[in-house]
Amino acid sequence: MEHVIAHAPTFTTLEFRFSEGESIAVQPGCMLAMTTGLDLKAGAGSHMSGSSGIRRAARSLLAGESFFTAVYTAKRDGERLILAPSESGEIRSIEVKPGTNHFIASGAFLACTSGVQVSLKYAGLKGWLATQGLFLMRTEGEGNVFVSSYGSLVEQTLAEGERLVLDNRYIVAFSDTMRFETVKVTTSLRHSYFSGEGLVNRFTGPGTLLYQTRARPSRGFLRSMLNIAT
């Protein structure tokens, strides 16, 4: 399978070119155009692994993602599929292979190849503060996962022990080799609050961090709950 990322950085699209039998799992509602030789099926948590359907639904809800995915499979060679995220920004392909996995923030997942599974790892309050979800999405398997941003994407590589502080609204993805913790911007809660920053995330290398240059609009609790059915 080949892919082409075009029209960056603001109105980026992602095009796949298939050989017969190849498939891709896609976040619902992202299809811009397709050729007629693709078979489309709605999968219940098709990119999720490791639990029953009901548990996957609950975990998807708490991770801020849709429980359903659209699975496109080519019936013959040469078929094409073009995806366009709902928000203006960039698209990045992340390679997934044994020993090289990533956590993906809420709202950033766009698609993944058939060899990739996305498991949901419980992170409690730390996960909620880090990526606005009680569960973190973690890549497994081998292939590619595609993430989208709101605004431009910035890639930052941290060496062993190197640190970087980020607001949780800007996180897109990060290596699972990195340690992250929720901290105050200053030693005083009062100064942190009135500076408009409050609690932030401190990442410690080694690893790679992807972040966006604009904060995604808050979807609110009710809208997040409706993800289970959209």
Residue 175 in any domain: the answer is: no
Residue 95 in any domain: the answer is: yes
In this predicted model, what pLDDT tens digit does every residue of 44-64 receive, in sequence order?
554 555 444 434 444 444 444
Residue 56 in any domain: the answer is: yes
Residue 185 in any domain: the answer is: no
Q: Residue 74 sits in which domain range?
A: 2-152
DSSP bridge partners of 38: 74
For residue 52 the two structure tokens come to 């029953």
- In which band, very low, low, confident or very high, does the pLDDT at 12 lie, cut at 50, 70 and 90? very high
Q: Kindly give, in sequence order, each residue whose CB lies less than 8 Å from that of residue 224, ignoring residues fewer than 6 positions away.
A: 61, 64
Residue 144 in any domain: the answer is: yes
CATH value at residue 126:
3.60.160.10
For residue 69 the two structure tokens come to 């995915």
In whole angstroms, give the CA distance from residue 111 to residue 24.
Answer: 7
In whole angstroms, give the CA distance from residue 84 to residue 128.
Answer: 27
In this predicted model, what pLDDT tens digit does every residue of 193-212 receive, in sequence order?
544 456 778 899 999 999 99
Mean pLDDT of the chain: 80
Q: What is the pTM of this model?
A: 0.80
Q: What is the DSSP letter of 75?
A: S
Residue 8 in any domain: the answer is: yes
Domain count, the chain: 1
Residue 216 in any domain: the answer is: no
In whole angstroms, give the CA distance from residue 44 to residue 69.
Answer: 6
Residue 121 in any domain: the answer is: yes
The lowest-confidence range among 61-70, 150-159, 220-229 is 220-229
